[in-house]
Amino acid sequence: MTDRYAVIGNPIAHSKSPQIHQMFAEQTGEDIRYEAIESPPDGFAATIERLREAGYKGCNVTVPFKFNAFKIATELSERARAAEAVNTLSFAGDTILGDNTDGAGLVRDIEQNLGISLQDKKVLLMGAGGASYGVVLPLLTAGAALSIANRTPERAVELAKKFASSSVRGGGYADLTGSQFDVIINATSAGLTDSKIPLPASPLFPKGGQGGIFAQGSLAYDMMYGRETPFMAFARANGAAIVVDGLGMLIEQAAEAFYIWRGVRPETAPVIAALRA
């Protein structure tokens, strides 16, 4: 019997998840069906109930329901607890297991696909909303020395405080003047409105080489995908060595969900190549 899965969001029509999971299934020979389901804003719990009754094995959850999914889960992984959000649900009897694969997807894209170890790297995470919550624990687990900066500094301080770790601190963008980072990750929603993030520019670049916020050989990573954001343009103009969007993260978080459900890890490189094309 074909096992059924879905991604639930609102809106959901443009989700790439069905296509990604279809490719994973073909590649691994897993017999699954995966569809996109739009839930009414106030109908998430009812949608989940309907899927469980129909025998679905699990689902992915995206905007704006990740916190609803966190609440509805009867069991949570450690990384979902830290994220205070769930993007992957697994149904088994009365149990609804909630997990969050976003941070693992980000770390895997950086470490495996881009070949950059995060161990002891100075990492700047920009933003203190849901997207940032999802990735802090996996970044710390990967050994990063993490600074979180946010337009509203208190939110970054509050997020950093949740982790009993000396490797994470939070503040505002003004605090960053004079600092350099090996990896700068944009987890803000500024790109959606084409707004700039108030990062300190590099006065010496390109004439005098480095000197700004991007350390030599640094990576600029935008969690958004599909187009060049103002942050990506800023990174190119201010000395980042590598500038990437979040397509790899999208596919890696899907692969991690597929692995949770099926116990098989799909190869992501051909899927990333196909979606880039």
Q: Which amino acid is at 42?
A: D
Residue 245, token pair as written in the block: 């969007």
The position carrying tokens 């804003």 is 41
Torsion of the alpha carbons at 276, 253, 269 and 4, rounded to the nearest 10: -90
State which residue, 164 or 192, has the beta carbon closest to ligand ATR. Answer: 192
Please give the Cα distance from 193 to 258 (Å, whole number). 32
What is the nearest approach in angstroms of ligand ATR to the Cβ of residue 197?
Answer: 5
Site string for ligand ATR, 150-169 (x = CB under 6 A): xxx--x--------------
Site string for ligand ATR, 175-214 (x = CB under 6 A): -------------xxx----x-x-----------------
Rounded (5°) CA angle 22-23-26: 85
Q: Is 66 a catalytic residue?
A: yes
What is the nearest approach in angstroms of ligand ATR to the Cβ of residue 233?
Answer: 14
Residues contacting 262, CB < 8 A, separation 6+: 28, 30, 32
Site string for ligand ATR, 96-135 (x = CB under 6 A): -------------------------------xxxxx----
User: Could you report how far apart the first and last alpha carbons of the chain are, in Å?
Assistant: 33
β-sheet bridge partners, residue 58 = 5, 90
**Does residue 10 touch ligand ATR according to CB under 6 A?**
no
**Does residue 43 touch ligand ATR according to CB under 6 A?**
no
Where in the sequence numbering do the catalytic residues fall? 66
Binding site for ligand ATR (CB under 6 A): 127-131, 150-152, 155, 188-190, 195, 197
